[in-house]
């Protein structure tokens, strides 16, 4: 162990000043390592998840409505093609009974076309309702996301303020006690 040197007068006064100063050593909270920033916790996270789930459900309903409309349109197209085929049949050489059967079948196809057109209109209305429901669900989710974004920006600002306060406190402590 090296021999102890006597303290110089200025060092002795600093040492006595340090021990006699009421805030020396500094309070323990100022010497703690900067605590890890607390994690961002969104207070409405459950609501956001629920709104996202509703939007996903509405998207599935929209896809189902689109498929339903497509099926109704295909059925209508098939019936229209059948009617066109029936109307294109030559009737000059056909017997009266054959013409009567064709007319009855044509009436049946026309009735089915009317039903298919009504079903297609209903499917189109269902699709429109599904689009509106999806739009509302998306808007509801985005509203919560805007709140989350605002809260996140506030959290970041709070963290920056806390970090700056720690830096200022450390700088103030070092300024008050340059030997640190």
Rounded-to-integer distance, Cα 21 and Cα 19, Å? 6
Mean pLDDT of 99-105: 89
Distance, C-alpha 36 to centroid of its chain: 28
pLDDT at 19 over 50: no
CATH of region 44-150: 1.10.287
Q: What pLDDT sits at residue 72?
A: 97
Q: What pLDDT sits at residue 4?
A: 53
Q: What pLDDT sits at residue 94?
A: 74
For 71-101, give one letter per residue: b (16+ CB within 10 A) or e: ebeebbeebeebbeeeeeeeeeeeeeeeeee
pLDDT at 154 over 60: yes
- Per residue in 50-93, pLDDT (tens digit) is 999 999 999 999 999 999 999 999 999 999 999 999 888 887 77
User: What is the residue whose two structure tokens read 């006699």?
Assistant: 20
Residue 23's pLDDT band, with cuts at 50, 70 and 90, is very low
The overall average pLDDT reported for the chain is 83
This prediction's pTM: 0.65
């Amino acid at each position: 162990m090296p021999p102890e040197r006597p303290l110089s007068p200025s060092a002795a006064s600093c040492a006595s000043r340090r021990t006699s100063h009421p805030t020396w050593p500094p309070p323990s909270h100022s010497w703690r390592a900067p605590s890890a920033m607390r994690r961002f916790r969104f207070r409405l996270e459950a609501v956001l998840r629920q709104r996202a789930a509703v939007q996903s459900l509405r998207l599935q309903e929209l896809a189902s409505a689109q498929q339903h409309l497509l099926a109704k349109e295909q059925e209508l197209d098939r019936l229209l093609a059948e009617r066109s085929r029936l109307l294109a049949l030559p009737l000059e050489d056909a017997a009266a009974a054959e013409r009567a059967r064709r007319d009855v079948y044509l009436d049946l196809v026309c009735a089915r076309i009317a039903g298919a057109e009504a079903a297609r209109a209903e499917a189109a209305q269902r699709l429109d309702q599904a689009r509106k429901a999806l739009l509302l669900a998306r808007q509801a989710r985005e509203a919560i996301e805007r709140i989350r974004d605002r809260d996140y920006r506030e959290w970041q600002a709070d963290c920056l303020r806390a970090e700056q306060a720690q830096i200022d406190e450390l700088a103030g402590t070092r300024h008050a006690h340059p030997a640190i």
